[in-house]
Amino acid sequence: MRRTLPATLAAITLAGSLAACQGGGDTGTTTTAFDPATCQGGTLSVLNQGGITHLDPARLYTSGGGNIPSLLFRTLTTRNRLAGEAGTKPAPDLATDLGTPSDGAKTWNYTLRDDIFFEDGTPITSADVKYGIERSFAPELPGGAPYLRDWLVGAAAYPGPYKAPEGLTSIETPDAKTIIFKLSKPEGDFPFLATATQFAPVPKAKDKGADYEAHPVSSGPYMVEKYEPKKTLTLVRNPHWSKAADTLRYACPDRIEVTSGLDAAVINQRLTSGAGQDANAVTTDAVVGPEQLAQLGSGSELDKRVARGEFPSTTYLAFNTKKAPFDNPKVREALSYAINRTSVVNALGGSAVVGPSTTFLPPQKALGYQPYDYFPAGDNGDPAKAKEVLAAAGVTNLTIELAHQNDDSEGIGPKVAAAIQDAFKQAGVTVTLNAIDTATYRDVTGKPATQPGLALATWGADWPSGGPFLIPIFDGRQIITAGGNFNQSQYNDPAVNAEIDAIQALTDPAEAQARWGALDAKLGKLALVLPLTHEKDVYLYGKNVKNAVPDGWRGTYDLARISVK
Protein backbone atom coordinates (compact mmCIF):
# COMPACT_ATOMS: atom_id res chain seq x y z
CA MET A 1 0.00 0.00 0.00
CA ARG A 2 1.04 3.57 -0.45
CA ARG A 3 2.55 5.46 2.35
CA THR A 4 2.64 9.02 3.28
CA LEU A 5 5.80 11.00 3.53
CA PRO A 6 5.63 12.65 6.91
CA ALA A 7 8.15 15.19 7.88
CA THR A 8 8.98 16.27 11.35
CA LEU A 9 9.60 19.45 13.21
CA ALA A 10 11.86 20.44 15.98
CA ALA A 11 11.92 18.61 19.27
CA ILE A 12 8.88 16.45 19.05
CA THR A 13 8.15 14.96 22.39
CA LEU A 14 9.27 11.44 21.71
CA ALA A 15 12.73 11.85 20.46
CA GLY A 16 13.32 14.99 22.43
CA SER A 17 16.35 17.00 21.65
CA LEU A 18 17.93 14.15 19.79
CA ALA A 19 15.55 14.77 16.98
CA ALA A 20 17.27 18.04 16.57
CA CYS A 21 16.32 18.56 13.01
CA GLN A 22 16.59 22.27 13.30
CA GLY A 23 18.43 23.77 10.45
CA GLY A 24 18.94 25.98 7.52
CA GLY A 25 21.12 28.67 8.99
CA ASP A 26 21.77 31.56 6.69
CA THR A 27 23.46 33.96 9.02
CA GLY A 28 25.44 32.91 12.05
CA THR A 29 28.37 34.55 13.66
CA THR A 30 31.51 34.71 11.68
CA THR A 31 34.24 33.14 13.70
CA THR A 32 37.40 33.72 11.80
CA ALA A 33 40.41 31.50 11.59
CA PHE A 34 39.17 28.54 13.52
CA ASP A 35 41.73 25.79 13.36
CA PRO A 36 40.30 22.32 13.89
CA ALA A 37 43.76 20.97 14.48
CA THR A 38 44.32 22.88 17.70
CA CYS A 39 40.83 22.83 19.17
CA GLN A 40 41.23 19.65 21.22
CA GLY A 41 40.46 19.42 24.92
CA GLY A 42 38.07 20.38 27.64
CA THR A 43 34.59 19.35 28.70
CA LEU A 44 31.59 20.67 26.85
CA SER A 45 28.30 20.97 28.77
CA VAL A 46 25.02 20.77 26.95
CA LEU A 47 22.06 22.18 28.86
CA ASN A 48 18.81 21.09 27.31
CA GLN A 49 15.08 21.28 27.95
CA GLY A 50 13.93 18.12 26.24
CA GLY A 51 15.20 14.90 27.66
CA ILE A 52 16.80 12.17 25.61
CA THR A 53 14.25 9.39 25.67
CA HIS A 54 15.97 6.95 23.30
CA LEU A 55 19.53 6.42 22.19
CA ASP A 56 18.92 3.49 19.87
CA PRO A 57 19.71 4.46 16.25
CA ALA A 58 16.69 2.47 15.15
CA ARG A 59 14.35 4.47 17.35
CA LEU A 60 15.62 8.00 16.73
CA TYR A 61 13.67 10.25 14.40
CA THR A 62 16.25 12.75 13.39
CA SER A 63 17.29 14.84 10.53
CA GLY A 64 20.84 14.57 9.37
CA GLY A 65 21.78 12.28 12.21
CA GLY A 66 20.63 14.70 14.85
CA ASN A 67 22.92 16.88 16.88
CA ILE A 68 23.91 14.51 19.67
CA PRO A 69 23.42 11.16 17.89
CA SER A 70 25.82 12.11 15.14
CA LEU A 71 28.53 12.27 17.80
CA LEU A 72 27.98 8.55 18.33
CA PHE A 73 26.75 7.24 15.03
CA ARG A 74 28.24 7.61 11.62
CA THR A 75 25.83 7.03 8.79
CA LEU A 76 26.26 6.30 5.09
CA THR A 77 25.98 9.99 4.37
CA THR A 78 25.67 12.91 6.69
CA ARG A 79 24.83 16.60 6.47
CA ASN A 80 27.54 18.88 5.30
CA ARG A 81 28.41 20.76 8.44
CA LEU A 82 28.61 24.25 7.01
CA ALA A 83 26.76 27.48 7.49
CA GLY A 84 24.20 28.68 5.01
CA GLU A 85 23.43 27.24 1.63
CA ALA A 86 26.38 24.87 1.65
CA GLY A 87 25.08 23.30 4.81
CA THR A 88 21.90 22.09 3.15
CA LYS A 89 23.67 19.42 1.15
CA PRO A 90 24.51 15.87 2.17
CA ALA A 91 28.12 14.70 2.36
CA PRO A 92 29.64 11.21 2.41
CA ASP A 93 30.35 9.74 5.83
CA LEU A 94 30.83 5.99 6.16
CA ALA A 95 30.50 5.75 2.41
CA THR A 96 33.12 7.02 0.05
CA ASP A 97 30.62 9.13 -1.89
CA LEU A 98 26.95 10.17 -1.93
CA GLY A 99 26.00 6.95 -3.68
CA THR A 100 25.72 5.81 -7.23
CA PRO A 101 22.18 5.73 -8.62
CA SER A 102 21.24 3.38 -11.41
CA ASP A 103 18.03 2.05 -12.95
CA GLY A 104 16.62 5.60 -13.03
CA ALA A 105 17.50 6.28 -9.37
CA LYS A 106 15.74 3.07 -8.26
CA THR A 107 19.00 1.38 -7.27
CA TRP A 108 21.58 3.04 -5.03
CA ASN A 109 25.03 1.62 -4.61
CA TYR A 110 27.44 2.58 -1.81
CA THR A 111 31.01 1.60 -1.04
CA LEU A 112 32.25 1.85 2.54
CA ARG A 113 35.54 3.43 3.58
CA ASP A 114 38.37 1.19 4.70
CA ASP A 115 39.35 2.99 7.91
CA ILE A 116 36.13 2.77 9.91
CA PHE A 117 35.83 0.92 13.21
CA PHE A 118 33.39 0.37 16.08
CA GLU A 119 34.41 1.50 19.53
CA ASP A 120 35.75 -1.99 20.28
CA GLY A 121 38.07 -1.89 17.28
CA THR A 122 36.00 -4.17 15.07
CA PRO A 123 35.94 -2.96 11.44
CA ILE A 124 32.55 -1.74 10.23
CA THR A 125 31.13 -3.82 7.39
CA SER A 126 28.24 -3.40 5.02
CA ALA A 127 26.45 -6.20 6.91
CA ASP A 128 26.48 -4.01 10.04
CA VAL A 129 24.83 -1.17 8.13
CA LYS A 130 22.27 -3.55 6.66
CA TYR A 131 21.55 -5.02 10.09
CA GLY A 132 21.11 -1.55 11.55
CA ILE A 133 18.50 -0.75 8.94
CA GLU A 134 16.72 -4.07 9.40
CA ARG A 135 16.46 -3.53 13.15
CA SER A 136 14.47 -0.38 12.60
CA PHE A 137 11.68 -2.48 11.17
CA ALA A 138 11.23 -4.43 14.39
CA PRO A 139 8.02 -3.47 16.19
CA GLU A 140 9.97 -3.69 19.47
CA LEU A 141 12.02 -0.70 18.27
CA PRO A 142 9.47 1.82 17.01
CA GLY A 143 9.90 5.52 16.53
CA GLY A 144 12.13 5.91 13.49
CA ALA A 145 11.19 7.73 10.29
CA PRO A 146 8.99 5.64 8.01
CA TYR A 147 10.61 6.37 4.63
CA LEU A 148 12.53 3.11 4.39
CA ARG A 149 9.37 1.03 4.76
CA ASP A 150 7.90 2.95 1.88
CA TRP A 151 10.89 3.14 -0.43
CA LEU A 152 12.62 -0.23 -0.17
CA VAL A 153 11.20 -3.06 -2.24
CA GLY A 154 9.16 -5.48 -0.13
CA ALA A 155 9.83 -3.62 3.10
CA ALA A 156 6.28 -2.67 4.09
CA ALA A 157 5.55 -6.09 5.59
CA TYR A 158 9.04 -6.82 6.88
CA PRO A 159 8.83 -7.52 10.67
CA GLY A 160 12.48 -6.94 11.51
CA PRO A 161 15.40 -9.30 12.00
CA TYR A 162 14.14 -10.85 15.24
CA LYS A 163 11.14 -12.42 13.57
CA ALA A 164 12.61 -12.65 10.08
CA PRO A 165 16.33 -13.41 10.47
CA GLU A 166 16.71 -13.98 6.75
CA GLY A 167 16.65 -10.20 6.36
CA LEU A 168 15.56 -7.78 3.68
CA THR A 169 16.26 -8.88 0.14
CA SER A 170 16.13 -5.34 -1.16
CA ILE A 171 19.39 -4.53 0.63
CA GLU A 172 22.29 -6.42 -0.87
CA THR A 173 25.76 -6.74 0.59
CA PRO A 174 27.80 -8.57 -2.04
CA ASP A 175 30.95 -7.94 -0.02
CA ALA A 176 31.96 -6.30 3.24
CA LYS A 177 32.45 -2.92 1.61
CA THR A 178 29.50 -2.73 -0.75
CA ILE A 179 25.85 -2.12 0.03
CA ILE A 180 23.11 -1.86 -2.60
CA PHE A 181 19.56 -0.57 -2.06
CA LYS A 182 16.68 -1.54 -4.36
CA LEU A 183 13.87 0.99 -4.32
CA SER A 184 10.31 0.59 -5.59
CA LYS A 185 10.36 3.96 -7.41
CA PRO A 186 12.91 6.57 -8.34
CA GLU A 187 14.13 8.57 -5.33
CA GLY A 188 16.63 11.27 -6.15
CA ASP A 189 16.66 12.28 -2.47
CA PHE A 190 18.11 8.96 -1.29
CA PRO A 191 21.44 10.53 -0.21
CA PHE A 192 19.42 12.83 2.08
CA LEU A 193 17.66 9.87 3.64
CA ALA A 194 20.95 8.04 4.14
CA THR A 195 21.85 10.67 6.76
CA ALA A 196 19.24 9.20 9.15
CA THR A 197 20.45 7.22 12.17
CA GLN A 198 18.79 4.10 10.78
CA PHE A 199 21.78 4.04 8.42
CA ALA A 200 24.20 3.73 11.33
CA PRO A 201 25.92 0.35 11.60
CA VAL A 202 24.91 -2.02 14.43
CA PRO A 203 27.03 -5.10 15.17
CA LYS A 204 24.63 -8.03 15.30
CA ALA A 205 26.64 -9.73 18.04
CA LYS A 206 26.14 -6.76 20.36
CA ASP A 207 22.43 -6.29 19.67
CA LYS A 208 20.39 -6.68 22.84
CA GLY A 209 17.16 -5.50 21.32
CA ALA A 210 15.38 -2.96 23.47
CA ASP A 211 18.31 -2.90 25.88
CA TYR A 212 20.81 -2.01 23.18
CA GLU A 213 20.33 1.69 23.79
CA ALA A 214 21.74 1.42 27.30
CA HIS A 215 25.09 1.36 25.56
CA PRO A 216 24.83 1.61 21.78
CA VAL A 217 28.05 0.66 20.04
CA SER A 218 29.64 3.83 18.73
CA SER A 219 31.04 4.37 15.28
CA GLY A 220 31.59 8.09 15.82
CA PRO A 221 34.15 10.17 17.68
CA TYR A 222 32.56 9.67 21.10
CA MET A 223 31.12 6.75 23.01
CA VAL A 224 28.69 6.50 25.92
CA GLU A 225 30.12 6.59 29.40
CA LYS A 226 26.88 7.10 31.25
CA TYR A 227 23.34 7.37 30.00
CA GLU A 228 20.17 8.01 31.97
CA PRO A 229 17.15 8.65 29.79
CA LYS A 230 15.69 12.15 30.10
CA LYS A 231 18.40 13.09 32.56
CA THR A 232 22.03 12.82 31.58
CA LEU A 233 24.30 11.55 28.88
CA THR A 234 28.05 11.58 29.25
CA LEU A 235 30.21 11.02 26.19
CA VAL A 236 33.94 10.30 26.13
CA ARG A 237 36.33 9.80 23.26
CA ASN A 238 36.08 6.67 21.14
CA PRO A 239 39.70 5.44 20.86
CA HIS A 240 39.04 3.71 17.56
CA TRP A 241 37.77 6.76 15.76
CA SER A 242 40.34 8.66 13.77
CA LYS A 243 40.20 12.18 12.55
CA ALA A 244 41.71 11.11 9.27
CA ALA A 245 38.76 8.87 8.58
CA ASP A 246 36.18 11.59 9.44
CA THR A 247 36.87 15.10 8.26
CA LEU A 248 33.43 16.47 9.02
CA ARG A 249 33.36 15.99 12.78
CA TYR A 250 36.13 17.99 14.45
CA ALA A 251 35.43 16.35 17.82
CA CYS A 252 37.20 19.04 19.78
CA PRO A 253 36.13 18.48 23.43
CA ASP A 254 37.50 15.46 25.30
CA ARG A 255 34.24 14.99 27.05
CA ILE A 256 30.63 16.03 26.49
CA GLU A 257 28.10 16.11 29.29
CA VAL A 258 24.44 16.51 28.41
CA THR A 259 21.98 17.51 31.11
CA SER A 260 18.32 17.55 30.16
CA GLY A 261 14.99 18.39 31.72
CA LEU A 262 15.97 21.98 32.53
CA ASP A 263 13.71 24.97 32.31
CA ALA A 264 14.38 27.16 29.26
CA ALA A 265 14.60 30.29 31.38
CA VAL A 266 17.09 28.59 33.68
CA ILE A 267 19.22 27.45 30.76
CA ASN A 268 19.36 30.93 29.29
CA GLN A 269 20.07 32.46 32.67
CA ARG A 270 22.94 30.05 33.21
CA LEU A 271 24.34 30.60 29.76
CA THR A 272 24.12 34.36 30.23
CA SER A 273 25.91 34.44 33.55
CA GLY A 274 28.24 31.62 32.54
CA ALA A 275 29.52 30.81 36.00
CA GLY A 276 31.94 27.94 36.41
CA GLN A 277 31.38 25.05 34.05
CA ASP A 278 28.51 27.02 32.47
CA ALA A 279 31.14 29.01 30.58
CA ASN A 280 31.71 25.84 28.58
CA ALA A 281 28.02 25.25 28.03
CA VAL A 282 25.72 25.34 25.04
CA THR A 283 22.11 24.40 24.41
CA THR A 284 20.60 22.79 21.37
CA ASP A 285 16.96 23.35 22.16
CA ALA A 286 16.40 26.37 24.39
CA VAL A 287 15.70 29.40 22.25
CA VAL A 288 16.40 32.68 24.03
CA GLY A 289 13.65 34.27 26.07
CA PRO A 290 12.53 37.88 26.42
CA GLU A 291 14.99 38.62 29.19
CA GLN A 292 18.00 37.92 26.98
CA LEU A 293 16.38 39.43 23.93
CA ALA A 294 16.25 42.74 25.78
CA GLN A 295 20.04 42.70 26.05
CA LEU A 296 20.70 41.70 22.48
CA GLY A 297 21.52 44.16 19.73
CA SER A 298 22.70 46.76 22.20
CA GLY A 299 26.35 45.97 21.77
CA SER A 300 26.43 44.03 24.99
CA GLU A 301 28.80 41.18 25.67
CA LEU A 302 25.94 38.78 25.04
CA ASP A 303 25.75 39.87 21.38
CA LYS A 304 28.95 37.98 20.70
CA ARG A 305 27.54 34.78 22.11
CA VAL A 306 24.53 34.34 19.92
CA ALA A 307 23.98 31.89 17.11
CA ARG A 308 21.15 32.59 14.70
CA GLY A 309 19.79 29.95 12.41
CA GLU A 310 16.61 28.99 10.66
CA PHE A 311 15.13 25.55 10.59
CA PRO A 312 12.77 25.08 7.64
CA SER A 313 9.36 24.78 9.22
CA THR A 314 5.97 26.35 8.80
CA THR A 315 3.13 26.74 11.26
CA TYR A 316 -0.17 27.01 9.46
CA LEU A 317 -3.91 26.59 9.62
CA ALA A 318 -5.10 23.47 7.83
CA PHE A 319 -8.49 23.75 6.15
CA ASN A 320 -10.53 20.62 5.55
CA THR A 321 -11.91 21.54 2.14
CA LYS A 322 -14.36 18.67 2.29
CA LYS A 323 -16.12 20.26 5.26
CA ALA A 324 -18.37 23.32 5.26
CA PRO A 325 -17.72 26.19 5.37
CA PHE A 326 -14.12 25.57 4.28
CA ASP A 327 -15.24 23.97 1.04
CA ASN A 328 -16.04 27.54 0.05
CA PRO A 329 -12.80 29.14 -1.25
CA LYS A 330 -14.15 32.59 -0.39
CA VAL A 331 -14.31 31.67 3.29
CA ARG A 332 -10.69 30.47 3.19
CA GLU A 333 -9.67 33.68 1.41
CA ALA A 334 -11.54 35.87 3.88
CA LEU A 335 -9.82 34.19 6.80
CA SER A 336 -6.48 34.64 5.03
CA TYR A 337 -7.18 38.37 4.91
CA ALA A 338 -8.30 38.45 8.51
CA ILE A 339 -5.28 36.78 10.07
CA ASN A 340 -3.17 38.93 12.39
CA ARG A 341 0.30 37.42 12.05
CA THR A 342 1.85 39.80 14.58
CA SER A 343 -0.35 38.35 17.32
CA VAL A 344 0.63 34.86 16.29
CA VAL A 345 4.31 35.80 16.20
CA ASN A 346 4.04 37.31 19.68
CA ALA A 347 2.26 34.24 20.98
CA LEU A 348 5.18 32.15 19.78
CA GLY A 349 7.89 34.26 21.37
CA GLY A 350 8.19 37.44 19.33
CA SER A 351 9.76 38.47 16.06
CA ALA A 352 13.23 37.38 17.15
CA VAL A 353 12.33 33.69 17.12
CA VAL A 354 9.56 33.42 14.54
CA GLY A 355 8.77 35.32 11.40
CA PRO A 356 5.43 35.83 9.62
CA SER A 357 4.85 33.56 6.64
CA THR A 358 2.61 34.17 3.66
CA THR A 359 4.00 31.18 1.78
CA PHE A 360 3.79 27.54 2.66
CA LEU A 361 7.45 26.92 1.86
CA PRO A 362 9.67 28.55 4.47
CA PRO A 363 12.16 31.10 3.18
CA GLN A 364 15.05 28.76 2.39
CA LYS A 365 16.58 28.63 -1.02
CA ALA A 366 17.24 24.89 -0.72
CA LEU A 367 13.51 24.28 -0.55
CA GLY A 368 12.81 26.44 -3.58
CA TYR A 369 11.25 29.36 -1.73
CA GLN A 370 9.49 31.94 -3.89
CA PRO A 371 7.81 34.88 -2.11
CA TYR A 372 4.10 35.52 -2.67
CA ASP A 373 1.25 37.10 -0.77
CA TYR A 374 -2.04 36.67 -2.57
CA PHE A 375 -4.28 37.76 0.30
CA PRO A 376 -2.36 40.66 1.77
CA ALA A 377 -3.29 40.99 5.40
CA GLY A 378 -0.49 43.28 6.44
CA ASP A 379 1.10 42.79 9.83
CA ASN A 380 -2.10 43.03 11.82
CA GLY A 381 -4.69 41.60 9.46
CA ASP A 382 -7.24 43.29 7.26
CA PRO A 383 -10.59 42.54 8.87
CA ALA A 384 -12.38 45.03 6.66
CA LYS A 385 -11.29 43.23 3.52
CA ALA A 386 -12.20 39.92 5.12
CA LYS A 387 -15.71 41.15 5.91
CA GLU A 388 -16.01 42.43 2.38
CA VAL A 389 -15.05 39.06 0.90
CA LEU A 390 -17.48 37.26 3.18
CA ALA A 391 -20.27 39.67 2.38
CA ALA A 392 -19.61 39.30 -1.34
CA ALA A 393 -19.82 35.55 -0.94
CA GLY A 394 -23.06 35.89 0.99
CA VAL A 395 -21.66 34.39 4.15
CA THR A 396 -22.96 35.94 7.36
CA ASN A 397 -22.65 35.15 11.06
CA LEU A 398 -19.86 32.74 10.45
CA THR A 399 -19.05 30.51 13.44
CA ILE A 400 -16.17 28.08 13.14
CA GLU A 401 -14.34 25.68 15.40
CA LEU A 402 -10.56 25.68 15.67
CA ALA A 403 -8.74 22.54 16.77
CA HIS A 404 -5.46 22.92 18.62
CA GLN A 405 -3.22 21.01 20.99
CA ASN A 406 -3.90 21.34 24.69
CA ASP A 407 -0.44 22.62 25.52
CA ASP A 408 2.05 24.89 23.86
CA SER A 409 4.95 22.44 23.69
CA GLU A 410 4.83 22.20 19.90
CA GLY A 411 3.75 25.77 19.25
CA ILE A 412 0.24 24.88 18.09
CA GLY A 413 -1.42 25.13 21.49
CA PRO A 414 -3.85 27.43 23.27
CA LYS A 415 -1.69 30.55 23.01
CA VAL A 416 -1.67 30.62 19.21
CA ALA A 417 -5.28 29.49 19.07
CA ALA A 418 -6.34 32.42 21.25
CA ALA A 419 -4.46 34.84 19.02
CA ILE A 420 -6.23 33.48 15.94
CA GLN A 421 -9.57 33.54 17.71
CA ASP A 422 -9.11 37.22 18.45
CA ALA A 423 -7.97 38.04 14.91
CA PHE A 424 -10.99 36.34 13.33
CA LYS A 425 -13.29 38.01 15.82
CA GLN A 426 -12.21 41.37 14.38
CA ALA A 427 -13.57 40.15 11.05
CA GLY A 428 -16.86 39.16 12.62
CA VAL A 429 -16.10 35.46 12.65
CA THR A 430 -16.81 33.65 15.88
CA VAL A 431 -14.24 31.00 16.74
CA THR A 432 -14.81 28.32 19.32
CA LEU A 433 -11.73 26.52 20.50
CA ASN A 434 -11.44 22.76 20.42
CA ALA A 435 -8.50 21.62 22.50
CA ILE A 436 -7.29 18.13 21.71
CA ASP A 437 -4.83 16.27 23.86
CA THR A 438 -1.35 16.77 22.45
CA ALA A 439 -0.62 13.08 22.72
CA THR A 440 -3.49 12.18 20.41
CA TYR A 441 -3.60 15.32 18.30
CA ARG A 442 -1.99 13.83 15.22
CA ASP A 443 -4.14 10.75 15.47
CA VAL A 444 -7.33 12.84 15.43
CA THR A 445 -6.22 15.22 12.70
CA GLY A 446 -4.59 12.44 10.68
CA LYS A 447 -7.77 10.48 10.06
CA PRO A 448 -10.12 12.07 7.54
CA ALA A 449 -13.04 10.59 9.46
CA THR A 450 -12.16 12.48 12.63
CA GLN A 451 -10.31 15.43 11.10
CA PRO A 452 -11.74 18.79 12.22
CA GLY A 453 -12.69 21.49 9.73
CA LEU A 454 -9.96 23.82 10.90
CA ALA A 455 -6.84 22.75 12.73
CA LEU A 456 -3.52 24.26 13.72
CA ALA A 457 -0.66 22.38 12.16
CA THR A 458 3.05 22.61 11.75
CA TRP A 459 5.39 21.11 9.23
CA GLY A 460 9.16 20.80 9.25
CA ALA A 461 11.55 19.37 6.72
CA ASP A 462 13.20 16.01 7.33
CA TRP A 463 15.82 17.21 4.95
CA PRO A 464 16.25 20.50 3.15
CA SER A 465 14.36 19.89 -0.06
CA GLY A 466 10.99 20.99 -1.46
CA GLY A 467 9.73 17.44 -1.91
CA PRO A 468 9.34 16.37 1.70
CA PHE A 469 7.73 19.74 2.37
CA LEU A 470 5.07 19.73 -0.35
CA ILE A 471 4.36 16.08 -1.22
CA PRO A 472 2.73 14.92 2.03
CA ILE A 473 0.56 18.03 2.20
CA PHE A 474 -0.64 18.42 -1.36
CA ASP A 475 -0.20 15.14 -3.23
CA GLY A 476 -3.73 13.80 -3.72
CA ARG A 477 -2.49 10.24 -3.75
CA GLN A 478 -1.28 10.74 -0.18
CA ILE A 479 -4.77 11.05 1.30
CA ILE A 480 -4.86 8.10 3.66
CA THR A 481 -8.20 7.31 5.21
CA ALA A 482 -6.92 4.80 7.77
CA GLY A 483 -4.84 7.33 9.67
CA GLY A 484 -1.53 9.12 9.45
CA ASN A 485 -2.82 11.50 6.78
CA PHE A 486 -1.12 14.87 6.40
CA ASN A 487 -2.97 16.09 3.31
CA GLN A 488 -5.55 17.73 5.51
CA SER A 489 -6.97 19.92 2.78
CA GLN A 490 -7.78 16.60 1.06
CA TYR A 491 -6.80 18.28 -2.14
CA ASN A 492 -6.39 15.96 -5.12
CA ASP A 493 -5.54 17.51 -8.47
CA PRO A 494 -4.14 15.08 -11.08
CA ALA A 495 -2.22 17.95 -12.68
CA VAL A 496 -0.45 18.71 -9.40
CA ASN A 497 0.22 15.02 -8.81
CA ALA A 498 1.79 14.77 -12.25
CA GLU A 499 3.95 17.84 -11.62
CA ILE A 500 5.20 16.28 -8.36
CA ASP A 501 6.21 13.11 -10.21
CA ALA A 502 7.95 15.17 -12.85
CA ILE A 503 9.99 17.15 -10.30
CA GLN A 504 10.96 13.99 -8.43
CA ALA A 505 12.46 12.59 -11.60
CA LEU A 506 14.73 15.61 -11.93
CA THR A 507 18.37 15.14 -11.04
CA ASP A 508 19.46 18.77 -11.15
CA PRO A 509 18.76 20.32 -7.70
CA ALA A 510 18.64 23.86 -9.02
CA GLU A 511 15.99 22.98 -11.55
CA ALA A 512 14.02 21.04 -8.96
CA GLN A 513 14.13 23.97 -6.52
CA ALA A 514 12.64 26.32 -9.09
CA ARG A 515 9.85 23.90 -9.93
CA TRP A 516 9.01 23.26 -6.24
CA GLY A 517 8.83 26.99 -5.63
CA ALA A 518 6.55 27.49 -8.60
CA LEU A 519 4.30 24.68 -7.45
CA ASP A 520 4.05 26.25 -3.98
CA ALA A 521 3.14 29.60 -5.49
CA LYS A 522 0.49 27.97 -7.64
CA LEU A 523 -1.05 26.12 -4.70
CA GLY A 524 -0.94 29.29 -2.58
CA LYS A 525 -3.56 30.95 -4.81
CA LEU A 526 -6.09 28.29 -3.76
CA ALA A 527 -5.77 29.12 -0.03
CA LEU A 528 -5.71 25.43 0.81
CA VAL A 529 -3.73 26.28 3.89
CA LEU A 530 -3.24 29.53 5.78
CA PRO A 531 0.50 29.94 6.47
CA LEU A 532 1.18 31.69 9.75
CA THR A 533 4.84 31.70 10.70
CA HIS A 534 8.21 30.18 10.06
CA GLU A 535 10.84 29.39 12.63
CA LYS A 536 13.91 31.45 13.45
CA ASP A 537 16.34 30.27 16.04
CA VAL A 538 18.46 32.30 18.41
CA TYR A 539 20.71 30.32 20.70
CA LEU A 540 23.15 31.50 23.33
CA TYR A 541 26.37 29.77 24.12
CA GLY A 542 28.92 29.98 26.91
CA LYS A 543 31.81 32.39 27.24
CA ASN A 544 34.51 29.85 26.41
CA VAL A 545 32.67 28.29 23.51
CA LYS A 546 34.26 28.69 20.10
CA ASN A 547 33.09 27.83 16.61
CA ALA A 548 29.40 27.72 17.46
CA VAL A 549 28.32 27.92 13.84
CA PRO A 550 24.73 26.96 12.97
CA ASP A 551 24.57 24.65 10.01
CA GLY A 552 22.22 25.27 7.15
CA TRP A 553 20.32 22.05 7.72
CA ARG A 554 19.00 22.31 11.27
CA GLY A 555 19.58 25.89 12.38
CA THR A 556 21.63 25.05 15.44
CA TYR A 557 25.33 24.96 15.94
CA ASP A 558 26.95 21.60 15.38
CA LEU A 559 28.22 20.02 18.58
CA ALA A 560 30.76 18.02 16.61
CA ARG A 561 32.56 21.21 15.69
CA ILE A 562 32.36 23.21 18.90
CA SER A 563 35.48 23.80 20.93
CA VAL A 564 35.76 24.79 24.57
CA LYS A 565 39.49 24.82 24.76
- Footprint on residues 208-237 left by other proteins (CB under 8 A): 208-213, 228-231
Give exposure, 369-381, as e/b (b: 16+ Cβ within 10 Å). bbebeebebeeeb
| Closest distance of CB 486 from other proteins, Å | 8
Q: Give the whole-angstrom CA distance, residue 479 versus residue 87.
A: 32
Asked if 393 is part of the footprint of other proteins (rule: CB under 8 A), the reply reads no
Q: Which listed residue (40, 184, 259, 328) binds other proteins by CB under 8 A? A: 259
| Closest distance of CB 204 from other proteins, Å | 8
Taken in order 358, 360, 362, 366, the sign of the CA dihedral is negative
| Closest distance of CB 61 from other proteins, Å | 6
Asked if 156 is part of the footprint of other proteins (rule: CB under 8 A), the reply reads yes
| Closest distance of CB 514 from other proteins, Å | 28
Q: Give the whole-angstrom CA distance, residue 7 versus residue 488.
A: 14
Q: Cβ neighbours of residue 449 under 8 Å, at least 6 residues apart?
A: 481
Q: Are 133 and 199 in contact (CB under 8 A)?
A: yes
| Closest distance of CB 546 from other proteins, Å | 25
* Binding to other proteins in span 368-387, by CB under 8 A: 379-380
Residue type, position 256, single letter: I
Binding segment for other proteins (CB under 8 A), chosen from 183-191, 348-356, 392-400, 521-529, is 348-356
Binding segment for other proteins (CB under 8 A), chosen from 38-46, 177-185, 267-275, 331-339, is 267-275
Task: For other proteins, give the closer residue by CB, 230 or 525.
Answer: 230
509, 445, 501: which is closest to 476 by C-alpha?
501
Asked if 20 is part of the footprint of other proteins (rule: CB under 8 A), the reply reads no
Asked if 117 is part of the footprint of other proteins (rule: CB under 8 A), the reply reads no
Asked if 183 is part of the footprint of other proteins (rule: CB under 8 A), the reply reads no
Binding segment for other proteins (CB under 8 A), chosen from 71-79, 256-264, 318-326, 550-558, is 256-264
* Binding to other proteins in span 505-544, by CB under 8 A: none
| Closest distance of CB 131 from other proteins, Å | 11
Task: For other proteins, give the closer residue by CB, 12 or 506.
Answer: 12
| Closest distance of CB 101 from other proteins, Å | 24
Q: Give the whole-angstrom CA distance, residue 265 versus residue 211.
A: 34
- The helix/strand/coil state of 257 is strand
SS (H, E, C) 148-203: HHHHECCCCCCCCCCCCCCCCCCEEEEECCEEEEEECCCCCCHHHHCCCHHHCCCC
Q: Give the whole-angstrom CA distance, residue 362 versus residue 486.
A: 18
Q: Which listed residue (353, 389, 455, 564) binds other proteins by CB under 8 A? A: 353
* Binding to other proteins in span 433-452, by CB under 8 A: 433-440, 442-443
Q: Cβ neighbours of residue 435 under 8 Å, at least 6 residues apart?
A: 403, 404, 405, 406, 414, 417
* Binding to other proteins in span 461-500, by CB under 8 A: 480, 482-484, 486
Ramachandran quadrant class, 384 (left: phi over 0; alpha: psi -120 to 50; beta: rest): alpha
Q: Which listed residue (106, 113, 149, 565) binds other proteins by CB under 8 A? A: 149
| Site track for other proteins across 395-424, x = CB under 8 A | -----------xx------xx--xx-xxx-
Instruction: Count the neighbouring beta carbons within 10 Å of the beta carbon of residue 293.
Output: 18
* Binding to other proteins in span 289-308, by CB under 8 A: 289-291, 293-294, 297
Q: Which listed residue (92, 349, 363, 411) binds other proteins by CB under 8 A? A: 349
Peptide bond before residue 362 is cis, with ω within 30 degrees of 0: no
- 81, 87, 502, 557 from 56: Cα distances, Å: 23, 26, 36, 23
Asked if 350 is part of the footprint of other proteins (rule: CB under 8 A), the reply reads yes
